Structure 1
């Protein structure tokens, strides 16, 4: 019976549910004391994310503490890059570093097609263990970075404020960039299919830096490759809900909905009611509480969550933050977020 399936999975599929499911982007991470203690013992991010025992333990930490409706794989959007022949490191307080940025045709032609089962077996192991551990108490989420965002990292070589290197490539050597983006689209689709085969029940694609594009360039360099990933995954796993998230997406919300995804994840810069009017009725909505709110009082956290849920009433809605939870967020406030979400019907009834 579908009632026995996880609440988040049923909601993401558009079934009638008793309340919006709730989870947080980046819910496994630096705001939790237990994670920071583990990081002291294992300072390398890649060690933490690519060792299946550590990745599984970290993925489970917020579930054991707060029991959200979704448990997301602890990994990184850059994790599949070495399987394509691109090495990287993640330096604490500096972020990702690409040792040999992609800048020419020869480098793109030399990239390997991603074979996830061979190069990312630890991901499959962790997802399988998560499914076994949480059962139907929560949905297991997998995720990837979108082609544009992966390209932004590997072309720039690191995080960027203005993305001048990849934009120069886009406007001077568009054929080169399109070749790279297409390679990533096929590889990422293979990776998502592997995650679903391994146990992921809902998947999310992060195009974190597509919000840096003008709408016309989004239509050229981001949306077609988002759609290619979605299409390739849906050919194999048509019933797996697919979420798309872009930071700073206010200008392209309607475009996000046209990529074939099931759910658009809104950041906090768009009012939930406005977001609902701008998206087709059949498209679900995730979000979109400001993560900075979790530094506030329990009262303001509850009132803002109630406001968000009321505005999304009648829509397929997954309660989440509008971005990842911030380092330094008080754990007790994260608890308020989750508990408010799980008791939302009673709280709204008291208004």
Structure 2
């Protein structure tokens, strides 16, 4: 069965002969073309070439056109810091710097980098009619945070009416971009809203659900499919995400796949993701990748499950690791052989001898990479700002699990989720961006 039809059946919760495979190729497509992330994300031809190469190598059933959660923010006046290996990062927040919400306007097809993405979509649609094209938009809460900064967490309580107005604008912006992507040829609109992992279910229902539903309802009216992406320790919000009525929930390795499966199927919604991005696909080998893939396939089953990594692939993800996953997807005999193979991780925790210093507070932040992960970025910024008043008495370290030593530090500190902040070796904030006052209080407690 062709990939698009297979994915449509999975999204409709029909039994399938094999689980669909959707590698989330973002700037990894630039690696395949031997160009950096900035050059890749600014050129429709290179995007087409990178995605085409990924399709040739990985034989996906579906694939995103562009994985960049800063496209809308850039159009709305956020300044970006470009990277050679990651999508850009937002470094300014217009609404926190005096810009009035009422001055912002909805987009046209000619704004910012929309023409680049839409042109790539049209070409890929013609070239690959039987592959599901995913059009990614920034979720309304994450876009609102880009515009307002971390002040949004205080305004949830201090000025909920303003937050509601902002969220309504961001949802309308998402509807407009979704319409452009659908008209250009996308089959699935993926609403990627990683910052929703930072709020509780009650806040989610108040400040996210009505606005996400607006986007999903629009996509349904256009007779296309939708997916709700979240990353981080968002386990508490899976049920309310499902209640927004997307066709699919997509999660990362922070959330157990069987947990999501049970809730999603009870709610009549498909689910996917969960291949480990860094410890396996980026830093592991082919056997690691095969074992991970077969475990996900066994857990996910053949009803409603779409195999995918938890987020966009790191740029330098080895081609052979992704091809190993492809082999497992298409070959049931290879799955059986892999199940029977013994396998243990060679990674050991990093030694903490000499890591802590008398008279100083050591803050260790375990991240995916603050340059490419919005929750990680905002957590690192919050900790750095709160600790700046303490001068040299506080040392802040970021440990990126894109590096082997980052994973080993994660193991040494007993951290299970990213981003997580530890103070003097003790886990303090798990996948949560706390107010400045809470960070300062935790530092002062560690000093006493």
Match of 1:207 among 193, 207, 221: 193
1:122 equivalenced with 2:116 (yes/no): yes
Match of 2:325 among 302, 320, 337: 337
- Does the 8 A contact of 2:272 with 2:307 survive in 1? yes
Match of 2:296 among 294, 308, 312: 308
1:88 equivalenced with 2:79 (yes/no): yes
Give 1:209 shift.
1.0
Moved more, 270-279 or 114-123: 114-123
Is there any run of 5+ residues in structure 2 with no aligned partner, and where? 340-448
1:324 equivalenced with 2:312 (yes/no): yes
Q: Which residue of 1 aligns with 2:20?
A: 21
Change (3 A) 1:193 1:181: same
Length-normalised TM-score, structure 1? 0.85
Give 1:318 shift.
0.5
Length-normalised TM-score, structure 2? 0.67
SS at match of 1:20: coil
Moved more, 270-279 or 285-294: 270-279
Change (3 A) 1:276 1:87: closer
SS at match of 2:306: strand
Which protein is bigger by CA-based radius of gyration?
A: 2
Q: Which residue of 2 aligns with 1:293?
A: 280
Distance 2:91 2:187 in 1: 31
Tell me the alpha carbon deviations over residues 79-103 of structure 1, each in whole angstroms, 9 at most, x when there is no partner.
13455x4243232179423545213
Say what the alpha-carbon RMSD is for the aligned residues.
2.6
Q: Which residue of 2 aligns with 1:38?
A: 35
Is there any run of 5+ residues in structure 1 with no aligned partner, and where? 157-162
Tell me the alpha carbon deviations over residues 101-136 of structure 1, each in whole angstroms, 9 at most, x when there is no partner.
213896100001223366633332211100111221
User: How does 1:1-351 map onto structure 2 within 5 Å?
Assistant: 5-25=4-24, 27-30=25-28, 33-35=31-33, 37-39=34-36, 45=38, 48-83=40-75, 85-92=76-83, 95-99=88-92, 101-103=94-96, 107-116=100-109, 120-136=114-130, 138-156=131-149, 163=150, 165-235=151-221, 237-238=222-223, 240-248=224-232, 249-281=234-266, 282-291=268-277, 292-294=279-281, 295-343=283-331, 345-349=332-336
Distance 1:54 1:172 in 2: 46
Q: Which residue of 2 aligns with 1:160?
A: none
Distance 1:153 1:285 in 2: 27
Change (3 A) 1:102 1:326: same
Change (3 A) 1:326 1:55: closer
SS at match of 1:140: strand
Say which structure, 1 or 2, has more relative contact order (CA 8 Å, 6+ apart): 1
Change (3 A) 1:324 1:33: closer
Change (3 A) 1:228 1:55: same
- Does the 8 A contact of 2:13 with 2:304 survive in 1? yes
Distance 1:135 1:227 in 2: 28
Distance 1:3 1:342 in 2: 13
Distance 2:286 2:91 in 1: 41
Tell me the alpha carbon deviations over residues 190-244 of structure 1, each in whole angstroms, 9 at most, x when there is no partner.
2112211110011211001110112222222222211121122222x13x12111
Change (3 A) 1:110 1:13: same
Tell me the alpha carbon deviations over residues 52-93 of structure 1, each in whole angstroms, 9 at most, x when there is no partner.
22332233331133222222112522213455x424323217
- Does the 8 A contact of 2:271 with 2:305 survive in 1? yes
Report the number of matched residues.
331
Change (3 A) 1:76 1:304: closer
SS at match of 1:321: coil
Moved more, 138-147 or 317-326: 317-326
Change (3 A) 1:10 1:52: same
